[in-house]
Structure 1
Amino acid sequence: MLFEIDGAPAYCYTGGKAFDAALPTVVFIHGAQNDHSVWALQSRYLAHHGYGVLAVDLPGHGRSKGAARHSVEEMAAWLLAVLDAAGVAQATLVGHSMGSLIALELSHRAPQRVARLAMLGTTYPMKVSDALLNISRDNEQTAIDMVNIFSHSGMAQKPSCPGPGFSVMGGAQRLMQRMSALNPAQLFYTDFAACNAYANGEAAAQAVRCPALFIFGSKDMMTPPKSTKLLTGAIPHAKVVQVDAGHSLMSEQPDAVLDALAGFLG
């Protein structure tokens, strides 16, 4: 599904069903150097079980055109424009990593538009080391290799792997390489710098009043569970679910993530 936002096409995957704004809407927001496909199982399931699904490609990612936005605030403003274009008055926001910060920021600037808030693989502040920032700017392929290793709990597929012979790590690497090929303008660095610079997370979290959910990977090295205390403490009513996975928890434990989201949606 395509909308025009700021003069450029904005793509949203609808889970294999025609989008219906009259249904409860769930908006999926991917992380750095990714696109809507990281939500393949979760978005498709919910689209076939009574929800309107919009799994976005952020600007400069996947099928959405235009320059990548340089701040979390700019990405949140873009996402709000997508909701307007889709005719969605209120939605559940589900964000992973960088996408979780976008969801959190949108909930702060337009709380009336957010029915529920789910944040996966999140932390705040979401600081990126100077070394990784520099590598993402100067040698994107090396950054892809490093992050791919850091984002997975191991080389072997989990029992919940989507299919025999499917390489979780290989799929993640090829997706990030595809993003580089589609947008060679230092996309990884732009995304990482936006996460690193975001400074409104604590205030935004303290303002959350809607139902909230955290899903953490117990073996996450990118946003380790021990780093999440500021966020979880700022949203004390939020439910916390931990799954046996690294940072790429939607692909390492897709069924566990789906179960947590389906239970949260009720």
Structure 2
Amino acid sequence: MTLDIQGEPAYCYTGGKPFDAALPAVVFIHGAQNDHSVWGLQSRWFAHHGYGVLAVDLPGHGRSGGPALGTVEQMADWLLAVLDAAGVRKALLVGHSMGSLVALEAARRAPQKVRALAMLGTTYPMKVSDALLASARDDEGAAIDMVNIWSHSTIAPKPASPGPGFSVMGGARRLMQRMSAINPDRLFYNDFSACNAYANGEAAAQAVRCPVLFIFGSKDMMTPARSTRTLTGAIAHGKVVQVDAGHALMSEQPDAVLDALDAFALSLETTPGP
């Protein structure tokens, strides 16, 4: 589904089902140098089990037009505009890495629009090393290779790849390379800079009153467990689930991530809202 947001196309994958705003809405937000496809299993499952799904491509990523937005705050405003354009009154926001910050900031700006938050591979502050920022700026291909290695806990998920004949690491690398080809204007540097500069996370977390789920990869080197204490401490009511994966947990452990999200979504049906 493509929406018009301020004169630019905003693409939302709906999981193979027409989007129905009358259903409970689940909105998936990808991370840096990615697009909606990182949510392939999770978005399709929810769409075929009674939910209205929007897996967005942020501006300048995937099929969405316009320049990439330079701050988490701008991305959050764009996301809220997408919800309004799609007729979504309230949604479960599911964000990975940079997308988790976008979801958190959207909840700060419009708490009445957010039914619950699921934050995967998240941390705050989400600082990026000077060396990696410089590589993303000056040699995006090298930055892609480095991040792809650091985001995965193994070359081949054990006991086997979730998709026979499919390379999890290879697919992730090609996706990031495709994002570079679609938008050659230093997209990775833009996204990393937005994560690095975001300064509202602690205040936003302290303001959260809706149900929250954290899903962390136990072998995550990009947002390791020790770095998550600010967020989990500020959102003390949040539930924490760990899966045996690195930062790319949706592809390394797709079923475990789906199980956690499904259980969380079901809990919302029996828990009164804030």
> So what's the TM-score if we normalise by structure 1?
0.99
Deviation at 1:157, TM superposition (A): 2.3
Counterpart Cα distance in 2 of 1:156 and 1:192:
26
2:190 counterpart letter in structure 1: T
Residue matched to 1:107 = 107
Indicate the SS of the match to 1:12: strand
Counterpart Cα distance in 2 of 1:160 and 1:47:
26
Counterpart Cα distance in 2 of 1:215 and 1:126:
16
Deviation at 1:193, TM superposition (A): 0.1
1:114 counterpart letter in structure 2: V
Deviation at 1:226, TM superposition (A): 1.0
1:160·1:255 contact (CA, 8 Å) conserved in 2?
A: no
Residue matched to 2:31 = 31
Distance 1:163 1:169, change over 3 A: same
1:196 counterpart letter in structure 2: N
Q: Deviations over 1:41-95 (max 9, x none)?
A: 0000000000000000000000000000000000000000000000001000000
| RMSD of aligned residue pairs (Cα, Å) | 0.7
Counterpart Cα distance in 2 of 1:95 and 1:160:
26
Residue matched to 2:83 = 83
Runs of 4+ in 1 over 4 A off after TM superposition: none
Indicate the SS of the match to 2:106: helix
1:59-98 to structure 2, matched below 5 A, reads: 59-98=59-98
Counterpart Cα distance in 2 of 1:168 and 1:157:
8
1:58 counterpart letter in structure 2: L
Q: Deviations over 1:84-115 (max 9, x none)?
A: 00000100000000000000000000000000
User: Where does the alignment leave 5 or more consecutive residues of structure 1 unmatched?
Assistant: none
1:160·1:252 contact (CA, 8 Å) conserved in 2?
A: no
Deviation at 1:160, TM superposition (A): 6.5
Counterpart Cα distance in 1 of 2:16 and 2:83:
19
Percentage of pairs with the same residue: 79
Indicate the SS of the match to 2:50: coil
Residue matched to 1:11 = 11
Counterpart Cα distance in 1 of 2:201 and 2:160:
33
Counterpart Cα distance in 1 of 2:116 and 2:166:
32
1:228-243 to structure 2, matched below 5 A, reads: 228-243=228-243
Residue matched to 1:183 = 183
Counterpart Cα distance in 2 of 1:31 and 1:39:
11
Indicate the SS of the match to 2:152: coil
Indicate the SS of the match to 1:147: helix
After TM superposition, the structure 1 stretch with the greater mean CA deviation from structure 2, 153-162 or 54-63, is 153-162
> So what's the TM-score if we normalise by structure 2?
0.96
2:245 counterpart letter in structure 1: A
Deviation at 1:163, TM superposition (A): 1.5
Counterpart Cα distance in 1 of 2:174 and 2:158:
19
